[in-house]
Amino acid sequence: MVNSYVHLDIGNTVTRAKAWSASAQGARLLASATIPTPPALESVDLTESAFLAYTEVKAKVEESGQRFDPEEILVTVSAAGEPRVACAGVVKGISGESAKRAALVAGATVTDLLAVDDGRLEYQRILDLRRQDISMVVMAGGVDEEILGQGRHQLFNVAKVVAAGLPDRRGAGTKVPVVYAASLEGREEVLKIFGDSVDVVWTDNVRSRLEEENLEPARDAVLNLFSTGIRHDPRFTGLGRFGAAKVLPTGHSTGLSVRRMAEVLKQNVLVISLDGDTIQVFSQIRGVFTRTVTPVTRVQAKDVTRWLPSARLGERLDDVLANWKAAPGTLPASWDDLALYLAIQKQALLEAVREHSVTAIELRGIHRQRQIGETFQVNVKGGDTLVRMERIGTVCITGFLAGLLSPAALLSLVPDAFELHGVTKVYVDREGVLESLAAVQEEPDLLPESLLTPAGVILSPGRNEERIGTRWAFIKKDSTLEPLLVKPGEICHIPILAPHPVVFELHPSGKGDVGDGEGRRFSAQAVGFGSAYVDARVFGRKTDDRYRENRNTYRVFGVFPDDVLSGWERGMK
């Protein structure tokens, strides 16, 4: 077992170093340091900030009288270093989706998805691919047992597009490599198409059968290419001073911990990483891991106004939103700025969760005998989202902003962005625990829950409960079941004695599903939480005064002082 290690995260905005000790009882953060990351220019050594952060954190540990000689160093990279991948498949919703998921679970950012049915002409796909600033292509398509007999031309057409459109590798005179995770029997012909000018990494088919998906071999190939590319990138030559450090994309490192978290808690888990310029969403639901990345540039001012606590704030929204997109690491300097900032974050988070719901789905497609020319006439089943909030018991917020915004502010983002349903325990990862645990993933029970801040438990009837009574939500302490305050259309705060475990129980009316099937009561235990909230608002609701409702919600969560909320109510500064 690793007894001590250092995690260095080289991010777009800052580089963080954390010194950890680990034992059978869990992991403990010894010290941390944060250094600004320089701009990711070709001539800049991005590891210089990592060395300064490492030196500072080591000095902090030794100041306390301990000798710190870490057994392992983990380096995670997102500053111009996360793999940027273009994916290619035959049918966009089947092999294309699988190629995309393989790249995402490896921690990559997917820049494009090429497929024969993507609505573009062949020359347009070639031109679009040539314009991509990518580090590799992941290619999928065809099932192993029938590609040479039926529909083979479609896979080979995809290969021709990839061969013609491959851009040059950054800083080299060669083309970016291709991870071939497609039909086994198509390899020989595809190799002829690629010729000697393309470096190909052959790996197992991600969809050798339509009914099954095997992402791990393609994921590992992406990670290996990433690690090799980073060590040859002139901006990361300084990694040599850390010896044989383990190097991973930040997104993949966090994903490993999310999967471990779900296994240890034995629950479906949803994790949000607020990274400033992007929002990453991770989920482990019914044993299926999914990761998506949503850029903040998608947020539009017209969608943000619904989350403002005062009409007056809308006068500055366009300027604040434009500045935030240009410099997403900038933090608010006033209460007005914070209100605008949270409104923008809420809309960005809402869009990120919706995109994740579209990606985290059951497999599409079934095996069907096809004739030549019927490549797209596939009987499609599946495709239903796995993200059903009544089945998700734990939500955690991590990332750059999780350590800067207050737990109350972060918690206030959750009910509207997630459209919660049932009993949801919300944690905040203020110390970046989840991205640091990849160095000790071999320890099956090593999840330091004490380092995750319990923000609150939220109880919500969800979409299936149009009408709820006052005796809908209950709390059990010392075997006594007591009804909780429920105000239809509002959020109510319920204080809890944090050290003691409590059980929440929901009694749905009619056929409402609150976590255990239609019409069935559901209970969940929570330990260490100081507050619960009963959210009895109706999703998609219309209100005569959205600003008043937003102020009331912030008041319940304790995000803003009463005098600030009263000032907005009066329309004053």
Cβ atoms within 10 Å of 571's Cβ, excluding its own: 10
Last-in-domain residue among 203, 228, 253: 228
pLDDT tens per residue across all 573 residues of the chain: 557 889 999 887 788 899 988 776 667 888 899 888 887 666 778 888 999 999 999 999 998 877 878 888 889 888 766 788 999 999 898 899 999 999 999 999 899 999 999 999 999 999 999 999 899 999 999 876 554 445 567 899 999 999 999 998 876 678 999 999 999 888 999 999 999 889 999 999 998 887 788 999 999 999 999 988 887 788 888 888 888 678 889 899 899 889 888 888 888 999 999 987 789 999 999 888 999 998 888 899 999 999 999 999 999 999 999 988 888 777 888 999 999 999 999 999 999 999 999 888 877 654 433 343 434 444 444 568 888 888 898 999 998 889 889 999 999 999 988 888 889 999 999 888 888 877 665 554 555 556 789 999 999 887 655 556 667 888 887 778 888 888 878 899 999 876 678 999 888 877 777 777 777 888 889 888 999 999 987 665 555 578 998 999 999 999 999 999 999 988 754
Contact between residue 290 and residue 359 where contact means Cβ atoms under 8 Å apart: yes
Q: Is the residue at 554 inside a domain? A: yes
Number of domains the chain is built from:
3
Q: Is the residue at 474 inside a domain? A: yes
Last-in-domain residue among 228, 261, 293: 228
Please tell me whether residues 524 and 547 are part of one structural domain: yes
Please tell me whether residues 279 and 223 are part of one structural domain: no
CATH of the domain at 190: 3.40.50.2300
The domain in which residue 318 lies consists of 269-570
Please tell me whether residues 287 and 238 are part of one structural domain: no
Please tell me whether residues 286 and 403 are part of one structural domain: yes
Give the integer Cα–Cα distance in Å for 559 and 346. 14
Q: Is the residue at 483 inside a domain? A: yes
Q: Is the residue at 91 inside a domain? A: yes
Give the integer Cα–Cα distance in Å for 474 and 459. 10
> How far is residue 297 CA from its own chain's centroid?
16
Please tell me whether residues 335 and 307 are part of one structural domain: yes
Residue 458 sits at φ, ψ, to 5 deg, of: -115, 130
Q: Is the residue at 263 inside a domain? A: no
In angstroms, what CA-CA distances link 540 with 350, 395, 466, 496, 543? 13, 22, 11, 30, 10
Give the integer Cα–Cα distance in Å for 166 and 128. 10
- For strands 491-495 and 502-506, give the pairing: unpaired
Please tell me whether residues 121 and 74 are part of one structural domain: no
Give the integer Cα–Cα distance in Å for 419 and 361. 18
CATH of the domain at 13: 3.30.420.40
Please tell me whether residues 27 and 100 are part of one structural domain: no
Q: Is the residue at 53 inside a domain? A: yes
Q: pTM surpassing 0.75? A: yes
Q: Is the residue at 505 inside a domain? A: yes
Please tell me whether residues 398 and 542 are part of one structural domain: yes
Please tell me whether residues 152 and 34 are part of one structural domain: no
Please tell me whether residues 488 and 565 are part of one structural domain: yes
Please tell me whether residues 108 and 91 are part of one structural domain: yes
370 Cβ contact partners less than 8 Å away, ≥ 6 residues apart? 150, 151, 377, 378
Q: Per the structure block, which two tokens stand in for 150?
A: 């039926």
Q: Is the residue at 310 inside a domain? A: yes
Please tell me whether residues 467 and 483 are part of one structural domain: yes
